[in-house]
């Protein structure tokens, strides 16, 4: 089978692909899941985001974030969506996650951008706020989910089991690896985000995605995520109270790295939630 051959070739070199990641990072999970779906072997290095390794800073001096993929020859790539594109290009004999058609590829990239630019930050804002600010963030999440629901019902993804078609593809990996945080945040904040009646197609897609074998291998246990999210929310709310300013949430969900609390006092721009 082409995939097994590619995996064997990928494993047969002197050094395998190496992934720097963080256990709770949805961006890291994107790359782990993509490599599992492709049957690519890789070494994994867990980063302490509160005390980043020299290797991570050397490989990603621009953003200093995980995930980073290091190739067998030592070159490296950062940014999860870029890594996913690279994996499709560099291992053409493996299962392709992006669609073949140029227009469909562009549509998948567009909705990937939407996930990182609109949906993720709105979810992060719900997690990191309370009161009226949180209510506004919940409205934004619902507006964004309604846009995805409409695409599943009548738009680009109508009639498909997954965004990628019959199988999990690029956009499923991108959206799915952030979407399990919705349930975690619902539990921690007590706010309902994915109402199965309001968003039946999105809800069904997420359940189907989460049931996939490679997804179950990739996503940490809900209890571990809940513990982590509870601690992080407490810390964020305490910091916001100390800063005397509401919290701004960044794209995605929480990192293990506490934002700097050193003087000067954090402003809204310093406190972000990236999961």
Ligand X SMILES: N[C@@H](CCC(=O)N[C@@H](CS)C(=O)NCC(=O)O)C(=O)O
Write the binding mask 13 to 52 for ligand X: x where contact by CB under 6 A, - elsewhere. Answer: ---------x--x-x---------------------x---
Q: Which of 142, 114, 147, 115 has its CA nearest to residue 126?
A: 142
Instruction: Judge contact between 151 and 205, C-beta under 8 A.
Output: no
Q: Specify the DSSP class assigned to residue 58.
A: H
User: Secondary structure of the chain: what % helix, strand, coil (to 5)?
Assistant: 55, 5, 35
C-alpha span between 248 and 133 (Å, rounded): 10
- Of 62 and 100, nearer to ligand X (C-beta) is 62
Q: Check residue 179 for interaction with ligand X (CB under 6 A).
A: no
Identify which of 246, 193, 182 has the alpha carbon closest to the alpha carbon of residue 26: 182
61: which 2 tokens? 């001096």
User: Quick check: 94 binds ligand X (CB under 6 A)?
Assistant: no
Quick one: 6 or 256, whose CB is closer to ligand X? 256
Stretch that binds ligand X, among 134-142, 143-151, 189-197, 249-257 (CB under 6 A): 249-257
**Does 232 participate in binding ligand X (rule CB under 6 A)?**
no
Cβ distance to ligand X smaller for residue 99 or 178: 178
Interface residues for ligand X in 61-90 (CB under 6 A)? 64-67, 79-81
Binding site for ligand X (CB under 6 A): 22, 25, 27, 49, 64-67, 79-81, 252, 255, 257, 274-275
């Amino acid at each position: 089978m082409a995939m097994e051959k590619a995996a064997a070739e990928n494993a047969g070199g002197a050094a395998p692909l190496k992934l720097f990641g963080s256990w709770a990072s949805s961006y890291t999970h994107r790359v782990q899941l993509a490599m599992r779906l492709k049957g690519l072997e890789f070494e994994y290095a867990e980063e302490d985001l509160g005390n980043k390794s020299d290797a991570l800073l050397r490989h990603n001096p621009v953003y200093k974030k995980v995930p980073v993929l290091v190739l067998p020859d030592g070159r490296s790539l950062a940014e999860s969506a870029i890594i996913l594109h690279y994996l499709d290009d560099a291992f053409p004999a493996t299962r392709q996650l992006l669609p073949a058609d140029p227009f469909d590829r562009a549509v998948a990239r567009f909705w990937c951008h939407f996930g990182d630019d609109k949906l993720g930050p709105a979810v992060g804002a719900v997690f990191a706020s309370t009161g009226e600010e949180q209510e506004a963030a919940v409205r934004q999440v619902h507006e964004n989910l309604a846009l995805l629901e409409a695409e599943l019902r009548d738009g680009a993804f109508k009639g498909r089991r997954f965004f990628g078609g019959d199988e999990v593809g690029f956009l499923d990996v991108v959206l799915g690896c952030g979407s399990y945080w919705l349930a975690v945040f619902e539990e921690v904040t007590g706010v309902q985000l994915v109402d199965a009646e309001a968003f039946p197609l999105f809800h069904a897609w997420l359940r189907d995605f989460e049931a996939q074998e490679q997804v179950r291998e990739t996503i940490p246990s809900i209890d571990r995520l809940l513990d982590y999210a509870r601690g992080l929310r407490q810390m964020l709310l305490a910091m916001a109270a100390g800063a005397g300013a509401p919290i701004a949430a960044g794209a995605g969900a929480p990192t293990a790295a506490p934002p700097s609390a050193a003087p000067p006092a954090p402003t809204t721009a310093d406190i972000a939630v990236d999961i």
